[in-house]
Amino acid sequence: MFDQIRKHITGRVQFTEDEFNLATTFFVPKKIRRRQFLLQAGDVCKSLAFVSNGCLRSYSVDNKGEEHIVQFAIEDWWISDMKSFLTNQPSTYNIDALEDSELLLIDKVSQDKLCCAIPKFEHYFRILLESNSSAAQLRISDFISSSAEDRYLNFLKTYPKLVQRVPQSQIASYLGITPQSLSRIRKELSEKK
């Protein structure tokens, strides 16, 4: 159950066996089935979720009932609504599973206790967040300066594993375009080849 997170973390920070065993006590394992919710808009996001196995997405729903995907998460990724997690305010996002998934959850109090008990975890979360910050900067930059076609090409290059697992309509939503626009872009790209 902890094999995936052990591999993920030890690729970034070195832990002793005792430290890792202690760390596992701060997490709560959770299985969710495809289409089940981890978070529903209106509820507070109480935990960060590490994906041991499966695929999830976070998204908002607008007044017209349209979904807008903010984030995907597959193995080794974390998913949450960070604002709600930090402020304890109700979330405006939903998080649900696109595949049957196995997660490790950690709430705010446990995360802080873990970082106190094993300061290397403070370091781990810092470097994880630095890397998230870098990815978010690139995505924002893409939105303000790249065409929809370039955003799609960047997505293919950056997340080749996701492309295999997520329906095209969801990728379109993540890119902020309609499924029809994405179909047109894919057709044009295949004609260019």
Residues in contact with a second copy by CB under 8 A are 60, 62, 66, 68-71, 81-83, 86, 92-93, 115, 119, 122-123, 125-126, 129-134, 136-141, 143-145, 173-176
Kindly state the smallest distance separating residue 126's Cβ from a second copy, in Å.
Answer: 5
**Angle subtended at Cα 11 by Cα 95 and Cα 119, rounded to the nearest 5 degrees:** 80
Smaller CB distance to a second copy: residue 28 or 129?
129
Measured CA to CA, the distance from residue 51 to residue 104 in angstroms comes to: 7
- Amino acid code (one letter) for 13: V
Kindly state the smallest distance separating residue 184's Cβ from a second copy, in Å.
Answer: 18
Residue 50: strand, helix, or coil: strand
CA-nearest of 97, 77, 80 to 4 is 77
Smaller CB distance to a second copy: residue 63 or 190?
63
CA-nearest of 18, 8, 26, 16 to 113 is 26
Smaller CB distance to a second copy: residue 81 or 103?
81
Kindly state the smallest distance separating residue 28's Cβ from a second copy, in Å.
Answer: 20
Kindly state the smallest distance separating residue 97's Cβ from a second copy, in Å.
Answer: 19
Smaller CB distance to a second copy: residue 53 or 179?
179
- DSSP result, 27-44: -EEEEE-TT-EEE-TTSB
